Amino acid sequence: MLTTGKAILDVANEHNFAVPAFNISDWAMFKGIVEISEETNAPLIVAIHPDEVAHIGRDMIAGIIERSHRSSVPIAIHWDHGGTYEQVLQAVQYGFTSVMIDASMKPFDDNLAITKKVVDSAHVLGVSVEGELGTIGGNDTYAEGGSDTIIYTDPDDAVTYVKQTGVDSLAIAIGTFHGFYPAHLKPELKLDLLKEIKGRVGIPLVLHGGSGNPDDEIREAARIGINKINISTDIKVAYHNKMREVLGNDPKTREPNAIQPACIAAMNEVAAQKIELFGAAGKASLY
Ligand SMILES: [Zn+2]
């Protein structure tokens, strides 16, 4: 069934696992992700970035909502990396049940003020809000792109920010990176920092960009305080690598229903690994 981000993450917080937030940007990927979540009986967050919303068009959101309503697992539809208050209002109008306001590149006071404004409005409308503190960094055109350094989240700031904004969940910078991990940085999560922040704020915490980090660290992070992990690069790479292979050089290969099923299967193999790694398999029964 369709539900809010808060409803999904509060249960994950209580039971010490992380829900995957898969970024999807076409119908085949969305359909595949819902099916693997149902097969593994895992709660699901469908994440759609503003660039992806622009690509798929708002009418597809209606279809995503429709499919989510009749799913056997809880699903939240999440606006990933909202940049402005106005954009968040648009997300609410489209029917998203969860939004992220990412003002993490702004000065702390400005981030706090815009996040509070978003929370005050979104909560009236029953929509959950994720904020972000620190700089995760990224080498693609999405969120925080162009910044190839990580500014770790400060625990004191996190306490102030959560208390004053009323956010439902918080994305933190503890050593992950958006997109492919830069060659000059060593992927390593600061699990002690995670423990400290979790101990002090208590709310569901979020990890963005865990593509290059070792599985053991991600598994541990999900066990000790991370309750949502964004997955974009890993599933898209699997999907399109398989597509290149299927297409080959044969100009006669043309039917989407002869091309996409193998790509979905390759994507879902990765998705199933993530669901298992995060401890989310079977957890839909808790809702
Ligand atoms: Zn992100």
Q: What is the pLDDT of residues 138-162, one digit of tens each?
A: 765 555 555 667 889 999 999 999 9
CA of 84 to the centre of ligand 1 (A): 15
CA of 247 to the centre of ligand 1 (A): 30
Known catalytic residues are: 80
What tokens were used for 92? Answer: 């609410």
CA of 70 to the centre of ligand 1 (A): 28
Residue 204 confidence class, pLDDT cut points 50, 70, 90: very high
Q: Burial level of 243, CB count in 10 A (0-12/13-18/19+)?
A: middle
The answer to whether residue 73 scores a pLDDT higher than 90 is yes
Q: What is the pLDDT of residues 243-272, one digit of tens each?
A: 999 999 888 999 999 999 999 999 999 999
The answer to whether residue 200 scores a pLDDT higher than 70 is yes
137 versus 4: the higher-pLDDT residue is 4
CA of 81 to the centre of ligand 1 (A): 6
Q: Which of 179, 157, 281 is nearest to 230 (CA)?
A: 179
Mean per-residue pLDDT, 16-31: 97
CA of 250 to the centre of ligand 1 (A): 36
Per the listing, tokens 């990580």 go with 150
- Residues 119, 169 contacting (CB under 8 angstroms): no
The percentage of the chain sitting over the pLDDT mark of 70, rounded to a whole number, equals 96
- Residues 98, 45 contacting (CB under 8 angstroms): yes
The answer to whether residue 93 scores a pLDDT higher than 80 is yes
Q: Which of 8, 1, 2 is nearest to 228 (CA)?
A: 8
Distances (CA, A) of 120 to 97, 102, 117, 127, 202: 15, 16, 5, 10, 20
Residue type, 131: G
CA of 80 to the centre of ligand 1 (A): 7
Mean pLDDT check: name the lowest of 77-81, 131-135, 158-162: 131-135
What tokens were used for 148? Answer: 């190839």
Long-range Cβ pairs for the range 84-88 (8 Å, 24+) = 84/114, 85/114, 85/117, 85/118, 85/121, 87/50, 88/118, 88/121, 88/122
